[in-house]
Amino acid sequence: MDNDATLLLDLDGVSVHRVELLEDGGRRVHLTTADSSARACPACGVFATRSKGRALTRPRDLPYGERGMEFFWHKRRWWCGEPACPRKSFTESLPQIPAGARITERLRAAAGRRVRDAGSTVIQAARDLHLSWSTVMAAFTVQAREVTGAPLPEVRVLGIDETRRGRTKWEQDAETGKWRLVRDRWHTGFVDALGAGGLLGQVEGRTTADVLAWLSTTELTWRKNITHVAIDMSATYRAAIRTGLPDAIVVVDHFHIVQLANKMLSTVRRRTTAELRGRRGRATDPE
Ligand SMILES: [Zn+2]
């Protein structure tokens, strides 16, 4: 049934049967199944023909309009017609509204994207979409996998730098009484230094082993494309590159060179002032 309300709702697999205006101004949308594949038995895939009666589910969807909108999906239960099938009966389900789901898949996806792409916190997305924190977090985890699981963009110049993140956490071993590092405040970030690939990865720690561990997760063909690696003047990163990317040329990030040059200039200026005048620079005469 392809009526205007169905077109407006645009939710795959269902038709709008009628819309009821509630006392509080909200709307109750009565849905019926429009996709015949909902009749396919989830166990054997055979289309059922013998109805076992009706069932009602109330999945929640994306917010629409200023006042609430609720769904009543009037769906069918079916007897499976395949004699060899272990499943005797089942209730209709759709890709957008799987069996047992209390929210539509497009609402779930929207929740995950708010956190992944729009910079929303999990708690804010949960408030905006009237979902629980755990539902949004689970949706975000699924959405994030699309990005983290995607192949890395081709990179010619790899940038490696340390980032301070949070606090170091130590934990005391109850038996030996020794303290050990459980969370390093230093992370190592990997960026596409010349192209538009942005942040490629970030790992905890800043040792040679930390860098090598991340490099080992990348494809050999991807590593072969890297001609240069930009780092600060860190001996550990340099050692990691010599092992992990032996063909790449190490270059020093210009930011770090300027920083070091400025520092050296200040040292020389202070030393010269002290030698010539026997004193430090003054506020009125900073040399
Ligand atoms: Zn079956």
Asked if residue 277 belongs to a domain, the reply is no
Give me ligand 1 centre to Cα 93, in Å: 14
Any domain includes 88: yes
Confidence of residue 286 (pLDDT cuts 50, 70, 90): low
Distance 34 CA to ligand 1 centre (A): 20
How far, in Å, is the centroid of ligand 1 from the Cα of 53? 17
Q: How many structural domains compose the chain?
A: 3
Q: Name the residue with higher pLDDT: 32 or 256.
A: 32
Span 32-60, pLDDT tens digits: 999 999 999 999 999 999 999 999 999 99
Residue 252 has pLDDT above 90, yes or no: no
CA–centroid distance, residue 98 to ligand 1 (Å): 17
Domain hosting 131: range is 110-150
Q: 245 with 164, same domain?
A: yes
How far apart are alpha carbons 161 and 253 in whole angstroms?
9
What spacing in Å lies between the alpha carbon of 78 and ligand 1's midpoint?
10
For 251-269, the DSSP string reads EE-HHHHHHHHHHHHHHHH
Pairing mode of beta strands 50-57, 199-204: unpaired
> 241: exposed, middle or buried (C-beta count within 10 Å: 0-12, 13-18, 19+)?
buried
Shared domain check, 16 and 93: yes
CA distance 37 to 32: 13
Lowest mean pLDDT among 72-81, 108-117, 275-284: 275-284
Beta strands in 214-263 (DSSP E): 228-231, 249-252
| Ion ligand 1 nearby residues (CB, 5 A) | 41, 43-44, 80, 82, 85, 87
Shared domain check, 190 and 143: no
Tens-place pLDDT, residues 84-137: 999 999 999 999 999 888 999 999 999 999 999 998 999 999 999 999 999 999
pLDDT(157) > 90: yes
Residue with tokens 């269902």: 14
For residue 11, tell me if it sits in a domain: yes
Say if residue 61 is in the same domain as residue 114.
no
